[in-house]
Amino acid sequence: MFNRRRTTADGDVVEDVRERPGHTWSPAQLIALVFGGAAIVFGAFALAETGLDFDNVTVPHESVWSFHTTPLLALAEIGWGVLMVIAGLRPIAGRALMAVLGGIAVAGGALIVLDAWPQRLHDELGVHDRNGWLFLAAGAITLLAGLVLPVVSTPGQRTVTQRHVVSS
């Protein structure tokens, strides 16, 4: 809240102004928070299932909620989720980050579904077509939300109290 006061030369108050700023938000923020939170939860469960050995983050290959994964993929999902939650905290800059993260997920999903480097992707990340379709869907939704959903601004509130000073 901002307060200003204008006074006359002899110290009498002429005008008292109180301002409260408006709020800016975007529906895309909610989508970013939901998808980011889901990615963090899924990655955490996957990491708990696979364990983490920094000497070799590509083994073991496990199945979590019917999706194949490795510790490396689980770490990538957690990182993507954290960045998506950060994107959900800011309405304007967050939409740009959200669009970039959505594009990365779409590209990764497309590589998996199109079988580009199938053996290498499976060996390192443990992914199959099912993972690719999930990444494509999540990426497309977040990319479109980041690009299309509007930013809404609510106006602030301003209260002006005036006192007239009568000189005698």
Per the DSSP assignment, residues forming a β-bridge with 152 are: 25
Question: What pLDDT is recorded for position 37?
Answer: 98
Question: What pLDDT is recorded for position 166?
Answer: 56
Question: What pLDDT is recorded for position 6?
Answer: 61
**Average pLDDT estimate for 58-69:** 92
pLDDT digits (tens, 9 = 90+) for 68-84: 999 999 999 999 999 99
Between 119-123, 132-136, 145-149, the lowest mean confidence (pLDDT) is in 119-123
Closest CA to 62 of 83, 82, 48: 48
| DSSP reduced 3-state for 99 | helix
Amino acid code (one letter) for 98: M
Tell me whether strands 24-25 and 152-153 are parallel, antiparallel or unpaired.
Answer: antiparallel
Spatial separation of the C-alpha atoms in residues 29 and 122, rounded to whole Å: 33
